[in-house]
Structure 1
Amino acid sequence: MKFRIHHLAILSLSALLIAAGCGNNAVNSSTTTNASGAAEATALPESSKLNIKVSFYPIYEFTKNVAGDLADVEALIPAGIEPHDWEPTAKDMAEISDADMLIYNGAGMEGWVDQVLESVSGTPLITVEASKGLDIMEGTEEEEEEADHHHEEGEHVHEEGEHAHEEGEHAHEEHSHDHGGLDPHVWLNPTLAIQEVRNIEAALAAAAPEHAEDFKTNADAYVAKLEQLDQEFKDGLKDTKRKDFITQHAAFGYLAKQYGLTQVPIAGLSPEQEPSAANMSKIVEFAKEHKVKTIFFETLVSSSVADTIAKEIGAKAAVLNPIEGLTEEDRSQNLDYLGIMRQNLEALKSALNE
């Protein structure tokens, strides 16, 4: 029932948001897409400063580094909140409508974005999918099996009558954060992060062409840092004793592919997904056979699954951070995307050389 209320609330806001967006946005244009996938838009008035809303932390980091002081950039999802669990409120929807741009990762990461885009259709809001044009991978087999299982359960519940149908809608809400079978975690591969930065740069330059050179200068400087990060990963992981690592959340497929590693996930793409008993058994067997001494878990969600397996095989549990949001500890240490990625590199080097 909660899903129904939320869905109706979004739809009922549509007319209000369209009217508000037409009156308040600084950008007076519609958005199109060019051959490279970057957003095109009529230029802002020269005196305007871009008001940009972004979905979650990595996109904030990339956008802020490109925009510099030429835009007000704000993340919709607060620090410390798992982005798979977040949905926009009426206040968030109004803020999106008032913005000049909405930049999001895409590839199924933001399950709410289609509803938002439908609600603001017809407004001058420029929308930018940062992963546009990237080679997006399919989800893991475990994720697909779980999705099939939930689908079958939903069909069974639907057959049991109206009361069960409402429970099925609630179940649909609980599992509405899947990624449509796609792996959206492209930002964990520095070379793909570079492509996202370039897509963002192109969108900002299209919206404010008088600042295109500034955006390019900023993007070039940040891309140089990402290229250095990529080289550090190449150097640090090329000669490790082993090439496979076990992680609680299947977020590191792009990173593993880039550096010749094999990710062995306990569960699928959604961090709240519970692994099946069969998969837990397979992971334990694999860990014992390959003498795995570290089981990786992540920030923002419970480490209980990783802890259970680590205890059973006599291994330790350690953090491998998917950087889906900063924790209070991250913020207190002034960590950013680059700093956390370097922590991930050190964690991998340690585990792969045990």
Structure 2
Amino acid sequence: MKRPAFISARTTTLAVAAFAVAALTTGTLTGCSPAASGDPASSSASGRIDVVASTDVWGDVAKQVGGDKVDVTSIIDDPDKDPHEYQASGQNQLALSKAEIVVVNGGGYDDFVDEMLSALRTKPVVLNAADVSGYDQHPSDGEFNEHLWYDFRTVDKVAQHLATAYAKARPADRSTFEANAKRFEASVSALQDTEAQLKRQYAGKGVAITEPVPLYMLNAIGLVNKTPEKFSEAIENDTDVAASVLQQTLDLFSSRSVALLAYNDQTSGVQTQKVVDAAKANDIPVVPVAETLPAGKTYLTWMHANLDAIGAALGKAAS
């Protein structure tokens, strides 16, 4: 069974929701600032659309499409924190209570938002990236990969749905939202072109991962994940890896069966460190990936950087 994403948030959500709803009823949260980033408290006066995103990844996409017509609050926006250990708060609930539109990843990644929304009297429009993707979220041949922001096709679809939702909320600004979405989609298309170029050069190369975070991107480039499924499954579920499975994974590097290692640098442990060390010891390039925006990056500049790093690693392996 897959580790529930945001496990700490799930275990605290009901208590938080009860506190927040009571506080909103009595007015005791009136002086609280909104969670994470953005300022939804000012949106009513400005006429901007209040948007809340579960993470700053989707928050940035929402901002790119909405421009100065939206105020975006991202609940999780700290690149130094493991999103799976996020603690929901009353401020998150307050932000959601003011939202007109909420963007979630879905697919089990951020269920704590759904739980908080269920405690609200208001009912914002909710855009769920997993639902928008069209992927089977309960595949019979494995686990659903919920890290959808590495799938440019899905990101493009979410941008289109955001433009439609914004236009419905503010019909007078429809042309602005459509133009913003068109520019964003052109940039996403450029990222897909880079994937296609890398695929032409490196399709079929083996790669290793610690978790399935970047698999949509690696698959789009035509790379083959050689990691034992039981290894990445155990790491994602935060359980111990069997010694034999760990050895199989380490052998990928000593035998030089893979061109690179992509690892989630927001989660760490003894076993993942052994894998990173083995890659470095055998001169296999190591490419860090993440689940939230790195400091100073937008979604687009971040994804460009990821593709540049993968391209450089593949080029080194081929030299």
TM bin, normalised by shorter chain, reads 0.7 to 0.9
Change (3 A) 1:138 1:131: closer
User: Which among 252, 261, 274 is matched to residue 295 of structure 1?
Assistant: 261
User: Which among 3, 6, 12 is matched to residue 6 of structure 1?
Assistant: 12
Letter in 2 for 1:308: K
Give me the whole-angstrom Cα distance separating, in 2, the residues matched to 1:6 and 1:231: 42
1:239 aligned residue: 201
Give me the whole-angstrom Cα distance separating, in 1, the residues matched to 2:56 and 2:235: 17
1:326 aligned residue: 293
Change (3 A) 1:5 1:79: closer
1:131 aligned residue: 130
Offset from partner CA, 1:27-70 (integer Å, 9 cap, x none): xxxxxxxxxxxxxxxxx999721111111122011100000000
Identity of paired residues, percent? 19
- Residue 280 (str. 1) matches residue 246 (str. 2): yes
- Residue 106 (str. 1) matches residue 106 (str. 2): yes
Change (3 A) 1:12 1:46: closer
1:169 aligned residue: none
Q: Is the 8 A contact 2:262 2:286 kept in 1?
A: yes
Give me the whole-angstrom Cα distance separating, in 2, the residues matched to 1:140 and 1:348: 28
Give the gaps of 5 or more residues in structure 1.
Answer: 25-43, 145-180
- Residue 86 (str. 1) matches residue 48 (str. 2): no
How big is the shift at 1:104?
Answer: 1.2
How big is the shift at 1:300?
Answer: 2.1
Question: What TM-score, normalized by structure 1, do the two folds share?
Answer: 0.70
1:65 aligned residue: 64
Higher relative contact order (CA 8 A, sep 6+): 1
Q: Which secondary structure does the structure 2 equivalent of 1:76 belong to?
A: strand
- Residue 199 (str. 1) matches residue 161 (str. 2): yes
Q: Which secondary structure does the structure 2 equivalent of 1:68 belong to?
A: helix
Give me the whole-angstrom Cα distance separating, in 1, the residues matched to 2:304 and 2:11: 43
- Could you say what the CA RMSD is over the residues aligned between the two structures, in angstroms? 3.4
Change (3 A) 1:241 1:64: closer
How many residues in Structure 1 have an aligned counterpart in Structure 2? 288
Q: Which secondary structure does the structure 1 equivalent of 2:293 belong to?
A: coil
How big is the shift at 1:294?
Answer: 3.5
Give me the whole-angstrom Cα distance separating, in 2, the residues matched to 1:212 and 1:7: 36
Q: Output aligned runs, 1:96-245, within 5 Å.
A: 96-120=96-120, 122-136=121-135, 181-240=143-202, 242-245=204-207
Give me the whole-angstrom Cα distance separating, in 2, the residues matched to 1:46 and 1:292: 55
Q: Is the 8 A contact 2:287 2:309 kept in 1?
A: yes
Query: Which deviates more, 128-137 or 104-113?
Result: 128-137
1:16 aligned residue: 22
Give me the whole-angstrom Cα distance separating, in 2, the residues matched to 1:84 and 1:6: 13
How big is the shift at 1:310?
Answer: 4.2
Question: What TM-score, normalized by structure 2, do the two folds share?
Answer: 0.77
4+ residue segments displaced more than 4 Å: 2-5, 17-21, 44-47, 137-142, 269-272
Query: Which deviates more, 58-67 or 297-306?
Result: 297-306
